[in-house]
A and B are shown apart, each in its own frame.
Chain A
Amino acid sequence: MNKIYIYEDTFLNLLTLIAYLTQYHVTPTNIKTSNYSPNLFEENITLNLKNNPKIIAYLKENYSYPLKIMYYVYLSSDTNKELIIYYFYLNLQKYRHQLLNMRNLKCVSASLKISHYVQNEAHKLKGFIRFTELTNKVLYAKVNPTNNVLIILANHFKKRLPNEYWIIHDENHHLLSIYDKKNIYLINEKNLQLNLQSTSTTYEDLWCAFYDTIGIKERKNIRCQMNFMPKKYWSNIIEMRNQNEKSN
């Protein structure tokens, strides 16, 4: 039987499991969250390990950059991410600080690539997020990221809009981050009922007017525009929503 090791979907729990497996030289067929349904040749194994926060503290102290990379891979939507992190961690024991130079190792080149992709999506969304002001003064934004970048975005806006109440709603991962001028709370969307009544659209209209003016028509280049701002994000970018309506 191929052994699939199961973890609760948190980074700490994943690292705890991986540390355990490497310590006892167990090679998993795969590592998955509990909703994984095994095929005929597989069995799910749950070890019920107690989360070990010391691992993160240790890595932070000694391998902060590799830790960051593992974290970003964890946030990704890559279907193989757990195994990639497992082999990355395993090789980290062996090569230590040299590991990141070993791009000829698949787990290294894959980790770097995925973490880059995640950071890139987070960076793009830092720009593409659009808040609307709800009647109760709360700023509300919807996002549809491929990777689970909500926490990165929330930390960004905590620094940027510290004196506002805001909510970022990741529809793809069914998560909300709520900020109350002090702390960020991550909440599953089914635990919250929102009243999304928004205030006047004065500034949205002004922004769309600005957007339509600022492009130089003699330089029109839609391909380049779409390259930088992929269509999958357009539904939440108000000035692009209008472009869609216009072309329909």
Chain B
Amino acid sequence: MTLKEKLTILADSAKYDASCSSSGSTRKNTGGLGNASYSGICHSFASDGRCISLLKILMTNCCIYDCKYCLNRKSNNIKRAIFTPEEICAITINFYRRNYIEGLFLSSGIIKSPDYTMELMIKTITLLRTKYHFNGYIHAKAIPGASEPLLKKLGKLVDRLSANIELPTSASLKLLAPNKNDNAVTKIMAYVKNNHSKYYVPAGQSTQMIIGATKETDLDIMAKSESLYKSYNLKRVFYSAYIPVNHDKLLPTLQTPPLKRENRLYQADWLLRYYGFTVNDILSPDNPNFNLLLDPKADYALRHLAEFPKEINTANYYELLKVPGIGVTSAKRIIKSRAYFKITFNDLKKMGVVLKRAKYFITCNNRYCLDKSLFKKDFIESNLILENPQIHNSNLTQLSLFHE
């Protein structure tokens, strides 16, 4: 098998992992090749629009497990390949020198045992760091079930170490990934959290959940994320719209992956991490799934219209953040600027506020920019929905169907 065939097989098997981030590490150049960029760098964008930052590959796609949703499961009859440590190093180094990548994202199917697999990964990455003096970014996937001494070793070599939770509940995991248990995954997370330092997994850990392969509601998923963020100090939870690669009676048949839903989950995740929202603010048992026509923040604002309009010149930081069209940067700018002058609608544009969304929810010096009688849920809702460019292009026919 040529190196190119191997690379194609092992990249193809790795592509479903959503994480590509290369941020969060300050690894310096210590005489060899490369360094890390704290804010991360995207080197290319794939045909699906996702950032390519790391050489994302599996060490091998051979696996002793049989997770239902996975292309590499034991029972699939597919071409198998395995990289040698030297091959991975040669590709990484030569891609890096030519500035194709920020570094390596190494994951693997499980051969023989979790420990055996992890040892091979450690061998590869050790070679890269010591023989080739590589100081670029490395993200490794820990193999659930591997022993602590190996986690310790691997974590010292990489910038990010993570384990995928895969499914939002342990019941689902039992159903679709019978050889895995979420204990093994959370054990890794706890270990990484407790040992995290400048020298151990400096860029922190992340995880991924597959969306739409099982029955959970958005509320179940977000509640899981919230608890993961709290318990394990995760940098990110990635959501990956389920893409059917296998036929199995336990798996749903979907025409297209639930991308819109995935997008809503990312938006809500953002609200949790940076905007001071809790899951209870945006979802509830009577309202357990996201509105596909409106983003979660606009949806929140419309369901809590009594809290609005907010006065730009007096509302506090977190109140400003609740306004659709105002983000973290623009909220900070507003707070800083209004110490020096009274902000008008005209100034807001210069501060990065998306006025066509924000205008319904704010006043400037007690002036509302529309006719006050238009401050009504129906009016604002329909305007916001029609403003969304995606709707214009793809869903307009669908939308008009609803309205007829």
Contact = CB atoms under 8 A, between A and B. Distances in A.
Interface in B91-138: 91, 94-95, 97-100, 102
A130 B97 CA distance: 9
B204 interface: no
B83 interface: no
Interface string B30-74: 011111010101111111111111011000000000000000000
A113 to B, nearest CB: 8
Most chain A CB neighbours (cut-off 10 Å) among B15, B45, B341, B351: B45
Interface string A7-38: 00000000000000000000000000000000
A127 B44 contact: yes
Contacts of B350: 103-104, 109
Contact of B51 (A164, A210, A218, A228): A228
B49 A210 contact: no
Given A103-B333, A161-B33, A228-B45, A211 B15 contact: no
Interface in B1-25: 3-4, 7-8, 11-12, 15-16
B259 interface: yes
B57 to A, nearest CB: 8
B34 to A, nearest CB: 6
A139 interface: yes
A14 B259 CA distance: 51
A42 to B, nearest CB: 30
A179 B302 CA distance: 57
A220 B257 CA distance: 11
A216 B16 contact: yes
A214 B56 contact: yes
Contacts of A141: 99
A205 B341 CA distance: 58
Contact of A209 (B7, B50, B341): B7
A219 interface: yes
Most chain A CB neighbours (cut-off 10 Å) among B48, B55, B341: B48
A215 B47 contact: yes
B340 A221 contact: no
A101 B350 CA distance: 12
B388 interface: no
B253 interface: no
B275 to A, nearest CB: 22
A102 interface: yes
A213 B11 contact: yes
A207 B95 contact: yes
A189 interface: no
A242 B378 CA distance: 49
What is the interface of chain B mostly: helix, strand, loop, or mixed?
loop
A76 B35 CA distance: 27
B43 A160 contact: no
Contacts of B241: 219
Given A126-B37, A210-B11, A213-B11, A203 B46 contact: no
Contacts of B50: 215-216, 219
A216 B100 contact: no
Contact of A228 (B42, B100, B102): B42
B257 A218 contact: yes
Contact of B99 (A109, A129, A215): A129
B47 A225 contact: yes
A124 B50 CA distance: 15
B243 interface: yes
A210 B7 contact: yes
A213 B32 CA distance: 30
Contact of B12 (A131, A213, A239): A213
Interface string A142-170: 00000000000000010111111000000
Given A131-B97, A162-B29, A210-B55, A229 B45 contact: yes
A127 B339 contact: no
A128 interface: yes
B34 A160 contact: yes
B364 to A, nearest CB: 13
Contacts of A222: 47, 49
Nearest to A160: B35
Given A104-B347, A123-B41, A219-B257, A214 B29 contact: no
B372 interface: no
Contact of B243 (A129, A163, A213, A216): A216
B99 A159 contact: no
A211 B52 contact: yes
Contacts of A124: 42
Most chain B CB neighbours (cut-off 10 Å) among A109, A141, A161, A217: A161
Contacts of A213: 7-8, 11-12, 15
Contact of B48 (A102, A162, A163, A220): A220
Contact of B49 (A128, A157, A221, A239): A221
Given A126-B41, A128-B43, A213-B12, A219 B97 contact: no
Contacts of A160: 29, 34-35
Interface string B336-353: 110111000001001100
B256 interface: yes
A209 B8 contact: yes
B98 A203 contact: yes
A133 interface: yes
Given A123-B39, A162-B29, 10 more contacts: A109-B350, A129-B99, A133-B97, A159-B29, A160-B34, A205-B4, A213-B12, A214-B52, A219-B241, A225-B46
24 contacts: A101-B340, A126-B37, A126-B41, A127-B41, A130-B98, A130-B99, A160-B29, A163-B33, A164-B97, A206-B91, A209-B4, A211-B46, A211-B52, A213-B15, A214-B15, A215-B46, A215-B48, A216-B15, A216-B16, A218-B257, A219-B241, A220-B48, A223-B49, A224-B45
Interface of B: 3-4, 7-8, 11-12, 15-16, 29, 31-35, 37, 39, 41-53, 55-56, 91, 94-95, 97-100, 102, 241, 243, 256-257, 259, 333, 336-337, 339-341, 347, 350-351
